[in-house]
């Protein structure tokens, strides 16, 4: 089974994506995976400054929480990013983290499968498309990895609302159970 790293990018208290991630993690554990969970809440992650020193050193010149997260991403077999959808896109903090994972590009990273779980107030099928495309663009830069799937849970808005959404909670559980 895989070593799965779930990264929740919502900064909201009582986040719906966090609640759905909990169910995803239960499903992944029930399928036999080892799972580690990281929330970006309270983490300091600065913007990438584009110096590209990391392409030679495989280390970022900035010293913040992204350094430790990058090491965890490098050593995971499977990655799951959870994000609220803001303006039809992934959260800004998720994009900032993806940029800061640049030291992994020339490294011997382990991850092979990358997934996304997203949540939004709107529930039309097209709502997560740009967020999925953004993550796909990041994955495309890593030859040994593939974007392996996504789950979108729409129609969820208020803080903590996901806790009462049995269908979506079950979908998240099943999605976690299906991770490779």
- Let me know: does 135 contact 90? Beta carbons within 8 Å: yes
Each domain of the chain, given as residue ranges in start order, spans 3-177
Residue 136 and residue 114: Cα distance in Å, rounded? 9
φ/ψ region of 33 (left if φ > 0, alpha if ψ in -120 to 50, else beta) reads beta
Give the model's confidence band at 1: pLDDT under 50 very low, under 70 low, under 90 confident, else very high. confident
Residue 72 and residue 75: Cα distance in Å, rounded? 5
pLDDT digit string, tens, across residues 68-126 = 999 999 999 999 999 999 999 999 999 999 999 999 999 999 999 999 999 999 999 99
What's the predicted TM-score (pTM) here? 0.97
pLDDT digit string, tens, across residues 11-39 = 999 899 999 999 999 999 999 999 999 99
Specify the CATH superfamily of domain 3-177. Flavodoxin domain (3.40.50.360)
Q: How many angstroms separate the first and last alpha carbons of the chain?
A: 8
């Amino acid at each position: 089974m895989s070593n799965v790293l779930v990264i929740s990018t919502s900064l909201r208290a009582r986040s719906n994506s966090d609640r759905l991630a909990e169910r995803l993690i239960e499903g992944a554990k029930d399928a036999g995976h080892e799972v580690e969970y990281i929330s970006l809440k309270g983490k300091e992650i600065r913007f990438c400054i584009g110096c590209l020193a990391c392409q030679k050193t495989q280390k970022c010149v900035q010293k913040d929480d992204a350094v430790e997260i990058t090491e965890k991403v490098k050593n995971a077999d499977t990655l799951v990013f959870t994000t609220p959808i803001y303006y039809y896109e992934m959260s800004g903090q998720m994009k900032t983290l993806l940029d800061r994972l640049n030291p992994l590009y020339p490294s011997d990273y382990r991850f092979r499968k990358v997934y996304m779980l997203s949540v939004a107030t709107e529930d039309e099928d097209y709502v997560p498309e740009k967020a999925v495309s953004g993550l796909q663009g990041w994955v495309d830069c890593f030859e040994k990895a593939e974007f392996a799937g996504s789950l979108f849970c729409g129609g969820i808005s208020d803080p903590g609302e996901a806790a009462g959404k049995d269908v979506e909670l079950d979908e998240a559980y099943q999605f976690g159970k299906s991770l490779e």
